[in-house]
Structure 1
C-alpha cells in the first residue's frame, strides 16, 4: 500500500445504529489502525425524508462507548470538512455538470406517473422495467428530446433528474473479500444521481465525498455489493482512481431462525438487543433495548463482533483491541454470513467481567446496595464480590448470587429441606452451633478445620452435615464455598441462621 490508508464509516441518520453497522465501523477502524491509517466518520444525510431526530448523536455515542474512535469527521473536524453531507450540498452540482459535459450522464424529465405507466406496461408483458440503453430513446430525456427542448425545459424550471449513462459491457471487478466479481452492465439501470431540488442521491454524494476525502478502501456491508459496479464506473467516468472495495458478510438470524439478516424483530422475539445503546423512538416513544443498558461491557461486545465473520486462525477467542488491530486481515473475513449467537456474547461478557478490577466491581455493586438501602462495610462488600464474581455474567448478577449475605432466609427450598432433614439433623445442628460458638478465629481455613473435625469425631459423613449448613445459611442448595460464607456472615449471624433452621417447622 503506497498511499496512506484512509477509510470511512458513513451511516445514514435514519434510526439507531444496528450492531451490523457497528461491526462495519469496527472493521474499518481495525483496518485503518493495522495499516497506520485514518478512520473517518461521515454522516450521509442526503435523504432528508428518512432523517430521524437524535440518530446522529446516537451513532456518535455508540462509537464512543465501544471505543471505536475516529480520527476526523462529524464533531471532530479535519482537513476535509464538512463531514455531514447536507452541509456539502453546494459541492455536488459542479461534479454532476462535469458528468453531463463528458456525456456520462443525461437529463431526464419523466414524471412519476409516466414511469408508473411504463412499469405497469412491462408487468403486463411479464417483464421488469429497467431504465437503460434499451429504452432511453422512448422515454422523456435528453436522448428523445432535442438539445433545444432540453434547454427550454430547464429554463422553464421543469422538474428533472440527472441519470448516469450505464454502458453496455461485461465488467470484471475485484473485491478484497469475495475475489473476482463479474457484472453484465446491460442488466443495470441508469441510476438517478441528482435531482432538480439540488440534492444529490446517495450514489453521487458517496463517490464524490470518497474521492475528495481521499478514501483508499471502502469497507461496507454486503447489501452494497450490487452498487459496486455503478460506483466503479462512476470513478471511471470522472477519470479518478477507484478505491479498493470489501463487502462484509451479513449478520444472520440466530441458528434455527433461518438465514435472513438479523433484525430488530428477531431480537424482540428472543429477548436480546440488536442495538448497542438503548433507543427511544422520537415519534412512537417505543424503547428498544441496548447492550450498554443490558449490562454488557463494551470490550465484550467489540470482541464478539470482531469474530462475527472474521477468524484470525488462532486457538483462542479473547483478544484485546490492540491484538485485534495487529491480527486483522480482510482476507480472513468470511464470504458467508455469520449467525448471531446471544449465548456467545453472554460468554464473552462473563470472560470480560472476570477481568474487571475488583474495586470497580465493588463500587458498582455498592451502588446497587445503596439503592436497596443496605448498609455494610466496604471490606465486607469486597469479600462478597470476590467470592461470587466468578459465577457472574453481568454486574446485576452479583445481587442474585449474594443476596443471602444481606438477608437471612425466611423459608427454605421445600425439596431440599425434605431431602436433607433426617432423624439426627436436629442433634447435628445443635452440636454445630456449639462448635461455632467455641471458635476464637473466624477464617475459612479455621472454620473448615473445626467443622470437619466435628464430622470425623462423630462418625458423620460430609453429606449429612454440609447440605444442612448450606440450607440454613442460603435457604437453598446453591452459593459459593460454605466456609467462606460463614466467615463473611460472622459468628453471631451464622448461629442465628442455624438456630432458625433448627426451629423451622418440618412436615
Structure 2
C-alpha cells in the first residue's frame, strides 16, 4: 500500500476531505417515503424516446412521493460529446413538459454536469487510495491486450482481476519509480478479494429479488493522469453523485443490471448507503419474425426530434408512453392517465412495443377533443420552428383558419380526426388558404381525372354554377343549386340511375358535387362541402369555380 504522503502528492494540496462535501450536500429534508430520482443523459448523440420514457417515470415517481427529480448531465466521456446535444435535451424536456426540480440552471446540489464536479470525485478517489481500496495502474494498452489474448487462449473470463491485475499488489517502490519517470496511470478500484465465485443479491423495485455474478474486475474509476480534466468513469461518478445529491431511487434501462454488483461494491467501499434500482425494460420495435430494441441507428422514431419535428402533441405522446409503462393507464381517459401515479410494480419486465399507428390514433383522438382555438395555437407554436411560411399565413388569415378548423369540429358529436400531428395541417387544411392552394388550371386538370367527366361538360357546369351562384347559409338550399344544375347538364339524379344507363348521362349527382369539391379543395375527399364554402366565403368560392370553368385543352 502506498504511503499517504505519496498519495496526497498526486492531488491538489487544497483538495477538501469527504466531510467537506458531506456538509455541503446534507441529507434532504423530505417527507418519509419521498423518492429522489435523477435522469442522466449523456451528450454523445440524440435523445432517444426511451430517455423521455424513463424521464417521465422519474418525474412522476418523484412528484407523487413528495420527493425531487433532477437532471444530471453525464459528460465524463468528453471525447464522444456531440455538438448541440445539450440543446436537444433542453428542447425535448421543454416540449414534453418534463421540467426537472433541479438541473444546471437551478438547484442546491449542483453542479449538475459531471465535468464540473472534478474536485468532488478526486476527493473520493484519494479517499479510496488512502484506504487501500484503490490503486494506481500503469498497464499499457499493449499489456492489457496481451492479458486479454492470453485469457482467451486459456478460455478464461477476460478482464483485469486477480493475478491478471499486474499492478494490484505492486511493490510501492515500483509505483514510486513509475511516478518519478512521469508514466501515465489510471486509478483502479480494488475488487473485494472474495468476489470471485460469489453471487450478488439485490432487490429491484420492478423485478423483485435478483442475483448476479459478483464483480471480480478491478474497474478503472479515474481516467488517465495525462488527461485534463481528471474525470472519473461513469461507474464511480454515479456512485459519488447519487450519494451526495441524495438520490435514493435510480430508474434506468435493464442493460445496467449486470453493473449492479460493481455499484454495490463501490457504495460499500465508499461507506455510502446504497440506492434502490429499478431497471426498466427497453422500448421495442416489431420486425418480421419477432421484435428488437428500438434502435438509434435504424429507426427514425427512436429519436425525440422525430416526434417534435412531426408535431405529435406532447400530451398524446406522454399518454401513450405512460400506457406502455402501466397498462391500466392506457385504459383511462387522457387527462386522468396523465395525473394518475405510475407504479413501478406494474411496469413489465418485457419491453413494450412502440406502435406509431396506435400513437397516431391516440393523437387524432386527443386533437379531436380540442377547440379550434387550441388547435390553432398549437399548430402555430409548432410551425414557429418548423414551418415559418405557415406561421405567416396563420397570422394573416387567423379568422379563416379558425373557421376552417371549426368545420365538423365544433358543435358535433363526432369531430373530424383529420389531424394526427401538427405537421398534417397543411395537407388537411391548406386548401382553405389562397397562399397555399393552387386552383385548378382548367377543366382538364389531372385532379378531375378520377371523376371521369368530360372536360367540356365540367367547364360548362362550373361556368353556369358560378354565374348563378348564391352563397346560401342553409345547407340543403345551397346543395339544391348543384342538384338543379346537375340535371340541366345531363347528370343522373342518383348513382343507381346512372349505373342502369351510363351512356345516357354525364355522370351522377355524385360526380357533379365532386366537381365542385375538387374545384374548392383540389381533392375528392374533404369535410362537408357546404361548410367549406361558408368558411371560404363567396368571393373565394367564385374565384375557384371560375378556374374550373375554363375549358380544358384537348
| Interval containing the TM-score (normalised by the shorter chain) | 0.7 to 0.9
Distance 1:373 1:18, change over 3 A: closer
Find 1:2's aligned residue among 9, 32, 49: 32
> What aligned pairs does 1:9-20 form with structure 2 within 5 A after superposition?
9-20=39-50
- Secondary structure of the 1:264 match is coil
Match of 2:405 in 1: 385
2:45 touches 2:85 (CA, 8 Å); kept in 1? yes
> What aligned pairs does 1:128-139 form with structure 2 within 5 A after superposition?
128-133=157-162, 135-136=163-164, 139=165
Distance 1:332 1:374, change over 3 A: closer
Match of 2:185 in 1: 160
Distance 1:473 1:449, change over 3 A: closer
Q: Is 1:354 aligned to 2:368, yes or no? A: yes
1:110 touches 1:140 (CA, 8 Å); kept in 2? yes
Cα separation, 1, equivalents of 2:425 and 2:350: 38
Cα separation, 2, equivalents of 1:35 and 1:191: 35
Find 1:120's aligned residue among 138, 149, 165: 149
Cα distance per residue 1:111-148 (max 9 Å; x no partner): 22111111122223344422223x24xx42142x2344
Cα separation, 1, equivalents of 2:131 and 2:180: 21
Cα separation, 1, equivalents of 2:395 and 2:159: 72
Match of 2:344 in 1: 330
Match of 2:412 in 1: none
Match of 1:460 in 2: 493
Q: Is 1:274 aligned to 2:274, yes or no? A: no
Find 1:146's aligned residue among 164, 168, 171: 171
Find 1:95's aligned residue among 121, 124, 130: 124
Cα separation, 2, equivalents of 1:396 and 1:36: 38
Cα separation, 1, equivalents of 2:388 and 2:40: 39
Cα separation, 2, equivalents of 1:462 and 1:506: 28
Find 1:301's aligned residue among 290, 303, 317: 317
Match of 1:470 in 2: 514
Structure 1: tracts of 5 or more residues without a match: 278-289
Find 1:487's aligned residue among 526, 534, 550: 534
How many Å apart are 1:172 and its aligned residue? 1.2
- Secondary structure of the 1:384 match is helix
Cα separation, 1, equivalents of 2:429 and 2:494: 27
Structure 2: tracts of 5 or more residues without a match: 1-30, 409-415, 497-507
- Secondary structure of the 1:313 match is helix
Distance 1:92 1:374, change over 3 A: closer
Distance 1:297 1:128, change over 3 A: same
Distance 1:195 1:496, change over 3 A: closer
> What aligned pairs does 1:23-62 form with structure 2 within 5 A after superposition?
23-62=53-92
How many Å apart are 1:467 and its aligned residue? 3.3
How many Å apart are 1:203 and its aligned residue? 1.1
Q: Does 89-98 or 382-391 show the bigger shift?
A: 382-391
Distance 1:27 1:211, change over 3 A: same
Cα separation, 1, equivalents of 2:242 and 2:471: 75
Match of 1:280 in 2: none
Distance 1:3 1:158, change over 3 A: farther
Cα distance per residue 1:234-290 (max 9 Å; x no partner): 2122232111100111122344385332223322xxxx443223xxxxxxxxxxxx3
Find 2:243's aligned residue among 211, 225, 235: 211
Q: Is 1:178 aligned to 2:207, yes or no? A: yes
Q: Does 442-451 or 396-405 show the bigger shift?
A: 442-451
Cα separation, 1, equivalents of 2:279 and 2:62: 16
Match of 2:475 in 1: 444
Cα separation, 2, equivalents of 1:368 and 1:402: 16
2:189 touches 2:221 (CA, 8 Å); kept in 1? yes
Match of 1:287 in 2: none
Find 1:221's aligned residue among 245, 248, 253: 253
How many Å apart are 1:311 and its aligned residue? 2.0
Match of 1:292 in 2: 308
Cα separation, 1, equivalents of 2:330 and 2:80: 44
Distance 1:488 1:90, change over 3 A: closer
1:253 touches 1:259 (CA, 8 Å); kept in 2? yes
Cα separation, 2, equivalents of 1:447 and 1:506: 31
How many Å apart are 1:81 and its aligned residue? 1.8
How many Å apart are 1:204 and its aligned residue? 1.1
Match of 1:319 in 2: 334
Q: Does 146-155 or 202-211 show the bigger shift?
A: 146-155
RMSD after superposition: 3.6
Distance 1:423 1:200, change over 3 A: closer
- Secondary structure of the 2:209 match is strand
Match of 1:416 in 2: 450
Match of 2:17 in 1: none
Cα separation, 2, equivalents of 1:456 and 1:471: 14
Q: Does 453-462 or 170-179 show the bigger shift?
A: 453-462
Q: Is 1:191 aligned to 2:226, yes or no? A: no
Find 1:394's aligned residue among 421, 429, 436: 421
Cα separation, 2, equivalents of 1:202 and 1:374: 48
Q: Is 1:246 aligned to 2:278, yes or no? A: yes
Cα separation, 2, equivalents of 1:432 and 1:6: 69
1:473 touches 1:497 (CA, 8 Å); kept in 2? no
How many Å apart are 1:154 and its aligned residue? 4.2
1:442 touches 1:490 (CA, 8 Å); kept in 2? no
